[in-house]
Amino acid sequence: MKAAWKAGGVDGCKRLLEEKADEWKNVPLNVAVIGNSGVGKSSFINSIRGLTADDVELGAAAVGVKETTLEIRSYQHPDNPMLKLWDLPGLGTKVFPKATYLSKIVVDRYDFFLLMTADRFTENDTWLGKEIRRRNKKYFFVRTKIGVDISNDRQAHRRTHKEEALIREIRRSTQDHLRKDGCGDVPVFLIDNYELNKFEFEKLKQQMIQDFPELKKTALIFSLQSTSEEMVRVKVAELRSRIWKCAALSAAGAAVPFAPGLSVAIDLGIITHEAIFYFRQLGLDSSSLKRCAMLHSLDHVKLQSIVTRALGVRAAGAITFETMKMILQILLPRLVPLAAAAAVEEGTRAFLPLIGSLIAAPLSFGGTYLALKLILDKFEKPALDVMKFVADGVGMTTEIDGEKATSKVRGSEVAARWLD
C-alpha cells in the first residue's frame, strides 16, 4: 500500500484496492485446525484427504501418541483446493506453551478455525474459543475420538450402555459448556477420525464446503476493512512527514496569533492550504464522500454526518480557502488548549517541551508545526470512521456515537458481486 501511494498517490491506492478485490477470487480460505496436543488434529487432516498416517510418501501428516506436530503446514481440502487446512502444533506443550502459542502460530493469518477437543472440555478450549471470538472470526467446535468414548463406556457400563444415549449426553454437555462460555450458537460436530462413516465426520466435511462462500465473504470483508483503514494510516503517515517542510516555509511568512491566550504565531495561509490538502487526501470533502457513498451504495448524508460529528464542525459543500479558514478558526482554539492540557496531565514528555517552547517563544515555525499536527490528528479520526462505516456497510453494522448505523446494502450482496 505504501509503495502504491508513493508511485500513484490516491489513484495508485485505489487501483491496488480494486486489484485486491479481484485477488480474492483466487485467494484460498485458510482454515486452522487448532486445539490441545493429541486431540487428533493431524489425524483429521489425513482422514479428510483419504490418507492414513502411514501414507508418508503421499504427504500424510505425522500422527503420534506424543507431541507430534512441531511445524505448521497446510493441506488442501480434496473437494475444494481453495480451502486450505492448516495443521497446527498442539496448545500447551513445552515447545508451544499458552503464553506464546497465538503469536507463534501467527493466529491472525487464519480466516476460520476448527477447534478440536477430545475427552473433556478443558480450560484451554474455553480460552481458544474466546481468543477466536475476540478476533471476530468464526469456528466450528469438533469433538474427536467419539469411538473411544463409546468403547470406554461400553466397558464401564456393560449392562446399561446405550450408544445413542451416550452420544446425546456428549452433545448436550458440550453445548452446555459452550453456552456457559457465551458461544451457544457455535456448530458442534462429534466425529471419529477412524470411523468416517459413523458419527458426523462426513457432515463436517460437507458443511465446510457448503459454508465456504459465506466464510470467504466474511474473510473478504475483514480484509477490506483492514486494507482501507491501512490506506488512511499510510496517507496520514505520509502527510505527517510533510509537516516539517510546511512549518519551515512558514517561518518566513506572515504570522498571526494562534489562539486566544496563547502567544504563539501561525501562518494561517500555509496552514489553510495544507489543511485543504489533508482534507481531500483523506477523502473528507463532499465530492470524495459522494463518490465513496455511490461506490458502496451507501447514504452519502450518513457519511457526511460521521465527518461532522467527529470534527465538531459542519464541513459540507465545496471546500474553498475561505470555508477551510473558517473551519480552522473554529477548530484550532479548541484543539490547542486540549493538547496543552493533555500534555500537562499525562506528563507527555515529547509534547511538553514543544508546547512549553511555543508558549515561551512566539515563533511562526513552532506554531505552524503544532497547528498542522493537531489538524492532521483531528482529520484522521473521521477518515478512519468513514472507512469503518464503509466496511461495516459491506457486511455489518457499526456504532457511531452510540447510534447503530446500518447501510442500505447487505455485505453479502456486495461481496457476492466481487466473488462472482
Ligand X SMILES: Nc1nc2c(ncn2[C@@H]2O[C@H](COP(=O)(O)OP(=O)(O)OP(=O)(O)O)[C@@H](O)[C@H]2O)c(=O)[nH]1
Please report how close the Cβ of residue 80 comes to ligand X at its closest, in angstroms: 22
Does residue number 144 form part of the binding site for ligand X (CB under 6 A)?
A: yes
Q: Which residue lies nearer to Mg ion by CB, 68 or 117?
A: 68
Site string for ligand X, 83-112 (x = CB under 6 A): ------xx----------------------
Q: Which residue lies nearer to ligand X by CB, 194 or 351?
A: 194
Residue pair 144/199 in contact (Cβ under 8 Å)? The answer is no
Positive or negative: CA dihedral 156, 157, 163, 167: negative
| Chain centre to alpha carbon of residue 384 | 13
Window 231-260: residues binding ligand X (CB under 6 A) = none
Can you tell me the distance from the alpha carbon of 127 to that of 114, in angstroms, rounded to the nearest whole number? Answer: 14
Residue pair 408/415 in contact (Cβ under 8 Å)? The answer is no
Residue 148 contact partner, candidates ligand X, Mg ion, none, CB within 5 to 8 A by sort of partner = ligand X
Can you tell me the distance from the alpha carbon of 58 to that of 198, in angstroms, rounded to the nearest whole number? Answer: 25
Can you tell me the distance from the alpha carbon of 220 to that of 395, in angstroms, rounded to the nearest whole number? Answer: 10
Window 5-64: residues binding Mg ion (CB under 5 A) = 41-42
Kindly state the DSSP code that residue 71 receives in the 8-state scheme: S
Please report how close the Cβ of residue 39 comes to ligand X at its closest, in angstroms: 5
Count the neighbouring beta carbons within 10 Å of the beta carbon of residue 248.
Answer: 12
Q: Which residue lies nearer to Mg ion by CB, 46 or 288?
A: 46
- All three cell numbers of 14, joined, read 485505489
- All three cell numbers of 284, joined, read 473528507
Please report how close the Cβ of residue 89 comes to ligand X at its closest, in angstroms: 6
Kindly list the distances between the CA atom of residue 152 and the CA atoms of 145, 147, 199, in Å, as whole numbers in the listed order: 11, 9, 16
Please report how close the Cβ of residue 28 comes to Mg ion at its closest, in angstroms: 21
Please report how close the Cβ of residue 211 comes to Mg ion at its closest, in angstroms: 24
Candidate ranges 67-75, 92-100, 104-112, 220-228; the one touching Mg ion (CB under 5 A): 67-75
- All three cell numbers of 121, joined, read 472440555
Count the neighbouring beta carbons within 10 Å of the beta carbon of residue 317.
Answer: 11
Can you tell me the distance from the alpha carbon of 242 to that of 153, in angstroms, rounded to the nearest whole number? Answer: 72
- All three cell numbers of 405, joined, read 448505523
Residue pair 306/389 in contact (Cβ under 8 Å)? The answer is yes
Residue 117 contact partner, candidates ligand X, Mg ion, none, CB within 5 to 8 A by sort of partner = none
* Residue 143 parent element (H or E): strand 138-143
Residue type, 379: F
Residue 316 contact partner, candidates Mg ion, ligand X, none, CB within 5 to 8 A by sort of partner = none
Site string for Mg ion, 81-110 (x = CB under 5 A): ------------------------------
Site string for ligand X, 174-213 (x = CB under 6 A): ------------------xxx-------------------
Instruction: Find cell 491501512 and name the residue.
Output: 230
Please report how close the Cβ of residue 37 comes to Mg ion at its closest, in angstroms: 8
Q: Which residue lies nearer to ligand X by CB, 37 or 228?
A: 37
| Chain centre to alpha carbon of residue 218 | 11
Candidate ranges 143-151, 181-189, 256-264, 302-310; the one touching ligand X (CB under 6 A): 143-151
Residue of the chain from 46, 47, 68, 117 that contacts Mg ion (CB under 5 A): 68
Does residue number 69 form part of the binding site for Mg ion (CB under 5 A)?
A: yes
Candidate ranges 19-27, 63-71, 231-239, 357-365; the one touching ligand X (CB under 6 A): 63-71
Site string for ligand X, 381-400 (x = CB under 6 A): --------------------
Can you tell me the distance from the alpha carbon of 210 to that of 248, in angstroms, rounded to the nearest whole number? Answer: 60
Does residue number 65 form part of the binding site for ligand X (CB under 6 A)?
A: yes
* HSE-up (13 A, CA, CB side) for residue 328: 28
Question: Which residues make up the interface to Mg ion (CB under 5 A)?
Answer: 41-42, 68-69
Question: Which residues make up the interface to ligand X (CB under 6 A)?
Answer: 37-43, 63-65, 67-69, 89-90, 144-145, 147-148, 192-194
